[in-house]
Structure 1
């Protein structure tokens, strides 16, 4: 084979790969549109590489040859959709995850909240609730829990039910105890839970101040005015258009002087809302809405 033949062969393979990539993008777009039309879950503006990896994972588990086949299965079988949904909204959380952020919140935000007569907090994308319960523990230790209502929302009803149950596998408690201590915990962490047959049950008084409810950041609107909004490690999966949309929702939802807390890899920089906040703690992505 001549060098010219080799070049032509490479060019043909490249063209076929490009066509395959374009076809997969079209199939992915059709799948996400079908999910939105059939079930009301809108993943159309999620970042493509992340959503595509999760779809390919489900294809393998279902034993299906292509995304078009998955679309037919999902549209006709709600159980198939629920299996796919569990891949699209993978919960990654733990008690006092990123403990230094909780320490910064305890030190830099709690004193401001202490001056308010009542505190409303929205924890958006709460998953199975571990970080919400962490916040409840912190507020209890800072004397704020009794005058606080925490609204914890997520798109995934299965995750919300696990959050409402307040149960955690006991094998995680050593790590969670270390997180609690690093977050400035003031008591023996075992005071906040009871264990029985390998399951940890968080104390009921922590759940009393939390309202768990389904809310879709993509399609639902603001439902109250809040003094703090937590949304950590959720928007890393959104494209810029959707990120800006959700930032608009949070800005609308915050009271003047309210705090927005993002994940460590998220930022207000390069968003239309950047100039409307004061950076309260840049390291831990805590921002305050201008008064």
Structure 2
């Protein structure tokens, strides 16, 4: 016997997306349809919605539930020093070059709950560059930014993060960067001191500074081709000549209108703006 699973049609997903735009100004229409539908359906089933009408009503009229909805369809799973080889390249090749600048501005776009921002801060500290760096960590979701700004992560994750840290070229005792507080690891204030957490919507907001390094990893895969191009143009506009742009393992600059301005570093998804 087949279970009568709730199904949300493409049309109903479109209705929800236009509701979000109309009521809250959030534009998800350029997101990959398959990805959005999968996440919406997951939440629908998780929260045991009685009907699509009830689900829709709740999203429009209940602010708390709206926040939950946005969180569920935008939060990306992340970890500290994720893809250690990538961070090793930053440590050994990219940041030493940027270290010759009087000041380093870094943009982490789609920073989620902040693991990447603290990873970056640790590497900058170890290279003795943190004092002359500023990390702008942005996300469209204010809830995850609140969590990120606390600098507290689950203690149970620290073993994995410590392994990632060592594989990324770290040589210190990783536990020296945090203090254990019940089931949480609270990272040192010094690391947070050079991070600015702020809301920024890649879909609708403009460039807000000029950077030498922009990281946007595993975000573009959720966008359709047109929106990817729009966001890459935004990054190009925000990146200084000879600056670096880093994307996720399944993302590329190839076949985009900005590709000719960039030269890729060997092995990692990092490009340098050469013209």
TM-score, scaled to structure 2: 0.94
Q: Name the CA distance, whole Å, in 1 between partners of 2:236 and 2:136.
A: 16
Counterpart-to-counterpart distance in 1, 2:95 and 2:68: 40
Question: Helix, strand or coil for the counterpart of 1:211?
Answer: strand
Match of 1:287 in 2: 271
Give the distance between the partners of 1:92 and 1:231, measured in 2 at CA.
Answer: 14
Task: Determine whether 1:29 maps to 2:14.
Answer: yes
Deviation of the 1:79 alpha carbon: 2.1
Structure 2 match to 1:269:
254
- 1:171 is aligned to 156
Corresponding residue SS for 1:45: coil
Give secondary structure in 1 for the equivalent of 2:113.
Answer: coil
Match of 1:150 in 2: 135
Q: Which runs of 5+ in 2 are unaligned?
A: 1-6
Structure 2 residue 209 is matched with structure 1 residue 229: no
Runs of 4+ residues deviating >2 angstroms: 61-73
Cα deviations by residue, 1:40-97 (Å, 9 ceiling, x for unpaired): 2111111111100111112223333554542232112222212211210123111111
* 1:48 matches 2:57: no
Q: 1:37 to 1:138 in 2, by over 3 A?
A: same
> If you compute each CA radius of gyration, which structure gives the higher value, 1 or 2?
1
Higher helix share: 1
Q: Unpaired runs of 5+ in structure 1?
A: 1-20
| Counterpart contact for 1:278–1:288, Cα < 8 Å | yes
- Asked if 2 retains the 8 angstrom alpha-carbon contact of 1:31 and 1:68, the reply is no
Which region of structure 1 is more displaced relative to structure 2, 190-199 or 138-147? 190-199
Which residue, 242, 261, 267 being the options, matches 1:257?
A: 242
Given that 1:192 and 1:203 are in contact with CA atoms closer than 8 Å, whether structure 2 keeps it comes out as: yes
Give TM-score scaled by structure 1 length.
0.89
Structure 1 position 58 matched with structure 2 position 47: no
Cα drift, residue 197 of structure 1: 1.7
2: CA distance, partners of 1:115 / 1:159: 33
